[in-house]
Amino acid sequence: MRFYLTTAIDYVNSRPHLGTAYEKITADVIARYKRLSGVETRFLMGNDEHSQNVFRKARELGLDPNTYCDQMETAFRDVWAKLSISFDDFIRTTSPRHRAAVQQMAQACYDAGDVYEGHYEGWYCVSCEAFKQEKDLVDGKCQIHLTTPEWIREKNYFFRLSKYQQPLLDHYAAHPEFIQPEIRRNEILRLVESGLEDISISRAGQSWGIPLPFDPSSVVYVWFDALINYAAAAGYGTDAALLAKWWPADLHVIGKDITRFHCVVWPAMLMSAGLPLPRHVFGHGWVHFKGQKMSKSLGTVVDPLEAADRLGPDPLRLYLVKEIPYGGDGDFSWERFEERYNVDLANNLGNLVSRVTAMVEKYRGLALPVPVVPSGRLRAISIETLATYRDAMDRYALHEAMAAVFALVDATNEFIASSAPWALAKDPARADALSGVLYDAAEALRIAAILLLPVMPTCAAEILRRAGDLRPAPDVRLTDAEWQNATARTLVKGPALWPRLEIQSAPDAAVETAVTDPTVPGPPPAPNAPNVPNAPNVPNAPNVPNVPNASKAPLAPGAPLAPEPISIDQFMSIELRVAKVLTAERVPKSKKLMQLRIDAGTEERTIVAGIAEEYEPDTLVGRLIVIVFNLKPAKLMGIESNGMVLAASGADGKPVLVEPGPGSAPGMRVR
Ligand code: MSP
């Protein structure tokens, strides 16, 4: 089995920002997952150099464009190395192999009768590197770059894109999986169904670019040039054996702004040149900064190196993969990054690592006991987690896969709390039971570490080592994440992986804080020193973070938190549903909590809600309510609550249940 995946190649007129880095990180997660699954993988990235903006930037700096591009290659590679991006090949569009491929494909399209000479007159946005129609401009400006395009009139060669309208539609119908996710597929279908115009594929009178083989006075248009990189790197035009091995590509990972080029123009070019089409194109969403587009002029560009330095490359990767539903838009803010670091890493996973190793050390001298008692609940959860994870990763639902792993981490923390090993340890007659608990917790941790390898390559490898698996991470396979019934191994102790940050507002931390074990200390708070040396034995261990001043600034009492705007995709990632209350009872020993059994349309669930002071149980039964359906389970007074009931904050903050209107029924989505 083989898998060839690529990312978009980046324009080099500026350094990578967090948005472009997001794409590389998510593609890297897929590449690492494929390798973990034992699939022979080729992961390509590269730089797109023949853009006019690149040429201009080099000029501005007084550099020859090739020298400038060489310098930028180093700058890009440095960022990718820092973020642990494991590409196998890196292509530049000024390289000889790329030039050979572009000339071969241009000639092939020409020979197929798909290229003809004409004149182009119209608006051209250099930042988009695309011609713009009058209707696309607002106040004469490109809506993406807010700049005035240039009026161009020149001899151009055109590619008969219109000829491929039906073949493309046929291809989309025969291969519904070609364009992902669904939302992008629908956009492209609508676009192609509405008709395709031929496109210009050359620029006259320019020197920066690859000359057309059949008319060297023109250079190839930068997009026609750039798309060919995927085939060039697989040997097209230079290495037939390599091409036979790796083409067609399995997956192009690209941003949603350039799906048109990848799902319409590129497949039409390949059809014309007689090459098979890639199997999937995945158009991911945009990463915004505090709800705003990343833009230099708005000062909303986040430097990925700064973000990686702040809390470590692996926590950054986890944040981007776990917090942004893959395919939708997402947001980055320093505050949210720190919050998630505290909740997921310091409190949950980091605490689990410390507590498992500390317990096995304390009770069994770090030698993990082989259990006599058969493993129970945690084993079942681990097996289910692996299945969910695989299914999600295979659908590129990377965020769902991460949610599954963290549900396992939560379950393991809860398992430790409910099994109370510290109590078992007091009774020598229960030594076997204690061994069972220690084994199960360590085994679940080992499994979670394997599943985290694609996202947190350095830290997960370290967790695996602490869980007693000393193999080099590249030798580990996904099948190793199957529950092993009894392997004797020695755990390894180490310093806290992610010291907790002291921040003012971490609203969800309280709810999700890991269980408390009186015998094992929780994670230590982060020291105040701005820089603490890397933890010993952890290659590239995350630096102890610097909390930005903004988040340290105390809030005035009662000051409202300024709400950050969210995108529609972010809103849609919260699944609100109508549900019906089946039973309601007060939670013993709690004034506020009510335990509800609800019908959510597709299933029944238990939800614990803080409404017991305002509502009588009897008045709730049969009532329709609105719930957050996809909230992570949380334990309240020992009861697992699966979801949250929506209530308005009435007088004195007292909850008033939100009631869906007439015609509503359990299971209906609220939006
Ligand atoms: N050079 C072209 C791609 C040619 S591929 C044959 C290009 N380059 S780019 O540098 O502008 O963008 C590179 C990739 O980063 C694109 O897939 C783009 O969608 C993605 N992103 C740019 N800004 C982004 C965000 N803010 N968020 C997520 N991805 C973003 O387009």
More confident residue, 369 or 305: 305
Handedness of CA 125, 129, 131, 135 (dihedral sign): negative
Per-residue model confidence as pLDDT tens digits over 363-379: 999 999 888 888 889 99
Helices (H) and strands (E) in the chain, counts: 24, 30
Q: Note the pLDDT of residue 670.
A: 85
Q: Which protein residue has the closest C-alpha to ligand 1 atom 15?
A: 20
Task: Choose one of 24, 76, 98, 258 to mutate for the ligand 1 pocket test, by most ligand atoms within 8 angstroms of C-beta.
Answer: 258
Q: Note the pLDDT of residue 572.
A: 62
More confident residue, 561 or 257: 257
Per-residue model confidence as pLDDT tens digits over 584-608: 999 988 888 999 998 887 667 899 9
| pTM, to two decimals | 0.77
More confident residue, 18 or 556: 18
More confident residue, 277 or 635: 277
Q: Which protein residue has the closest C-alpha to ligand 1 atom 9?
A: 10
Q: Note the pLDDT of residue 562.
A: 32
Helical H runs in 470-518? 509-512
Close Cβ partners of 319 (under 8 Å, ≥ 6 residues apart): 332, 336, 337, 340, 341
Q: 26: CA distance to ligand 1 center in Å?
A: 13
**Residue 25 Cβ contacting ligand 1 at under 6 Å:** no
More confident residue, 297 or 272: 272
Q: Note the pLDDT of residue 284.
A: 97
CB 452 within 8 A of CB 405: yes
Q: 332: CA distance to ligand 1 center in Å?
A: 17
Measure the CA–CA gap between 169 and 350, rounded to whole angstroms.
50
Q: Which tokens is 159 given?
A: 């590619």
Q: 539: CA distance to ligand 1 center in Å?
A: 30
More confident residue, 559 or 409: 409
Across the range 402-430, mean pLDDT stands at 96
Q: Note the pLDDT of residue 575.
A: 77
Residue with tokens 């994870």: 389
Q: Note the pLDDT of residue 389.
A: 98
Q: Which stretch of 221-230, 427-436, 544-553 has the lowest confidence by average pLDDT?
A: 544-553
CB 5 within 8 A of CB 250: yes
**Residue 462 Cβ contacting ligand 1 at under 6 Å:** no
Q: Note the pLDDT of residue 108.
A: 98
Q: Which tokens is 276 given?
A: 């098979």
Would you call 228 helix, strand, or coil by DSSP? coil
In 227-369, the DSSP E strands lie at 251-255, 280-284, 287-289, 330-332, 367-368
**Residue 226 Cβ contacting ligand 1 at under 6 Å:** yes
**Residue 19 Cβ contacting ligand 1 at under 6 Å:** yes
Query: Residues of the chain with pLDDT > 90: what percent?
Result: 69
Per-residue model confidence as pLDDT tens digits over 471-528: 999 999 999 999 998 777 999 999 999 999 986 543 333 333 333 333 344 434 443 2
* SS3 labels along 81-135: HHCCCCCCEEEECCCHHHHHHHHHHHHHHHHCCCEEEEEEEEEEECCCCEEECHH
Q: Which protein residue has the closest C-alpha to ligand 1 atom 25?
A: 19
Helical H runs in 457-567? 457-466, 509-512, 549-552
Q: Is the pLDDT of residue 158 over 70?
A: yes
Which atom of ligand 1 is least distant from the CA of 288? 26
Which atom of ligand 1 is least distant from the CA of 51? 1
Q: 56: CA distance to ligand 1 center in Å?
A: 19
Query: What is the radius of gyration, based on Cα positions, of the chain?
Result: 28
Measure the CA–CA gap between 163 and 274, rounded to whole angstroms.
15
Q: Which protein residue has the closest C-alpha to ligand 1 atom 29?
A: 19
* SS3 labels along 128-181: CCEEECHHHEECCEECCCCCCCEEEEEEEEEECHHHHHHHHHHHHHHCCCCEEC
Q: 559: CA distance to ligand 1 center in Å?
A: 39
Q: Note the pLDDT of residue 120.
A: 84
**Residue 227 Cβ contacting ligand 1 at under 6 Å:** yes
CA angle 501, 502, 505 (to 5 degrees): 110
Across the range 273-281, mean pLDDT stands at 98
Across the range 630-653, mean pLDDT stands at 83
Rounded (10°) angle between helices 350-364 and 457-466: 10
Cα–Cα distance list, 355 to 381, 494, 517, 519 (Å): 20, 11, 8, 9
What one-character DSSP code corresponds to residue 428? G
Q: Note the pLDDT of residue 248.
A: 98
Measure the CA–CA gap between 634 and 444, rounded to whole angstroms.
19
Handedness of CA 216, 126, 329, 76 (dihedral sign): positive
Task: Choose one of 6, 15, 23 to mutate for the ligand 1 pocket test, by most ligand atoms within 8 angstroms of C-beta.
Answer: 23
More confident residue, 30 or 665: 30
What one-character DSSP code corresponds to residue 486? -
Per-residue model confidence as pLDDT tens digits over 311-343: 999 999 999 999 999 999 999 999 999 999 999
pLDDT range class, residue 667, cuts 50, 70, 90:
confident
Q: Note the pLDDT of residue 555.
A: 25
Q: Which tokens is 607 given?
A: 């939800």
Mean pLDDT, all residues of the chain: 88
Q: Which stretch of 451-455, 480-484, 565-569 has the lowest confidence by average pLDDT?
A: 565-569
Dihedral of CA atoms 24, 30, 35, 36 in degrees, nearest 10, equals 120
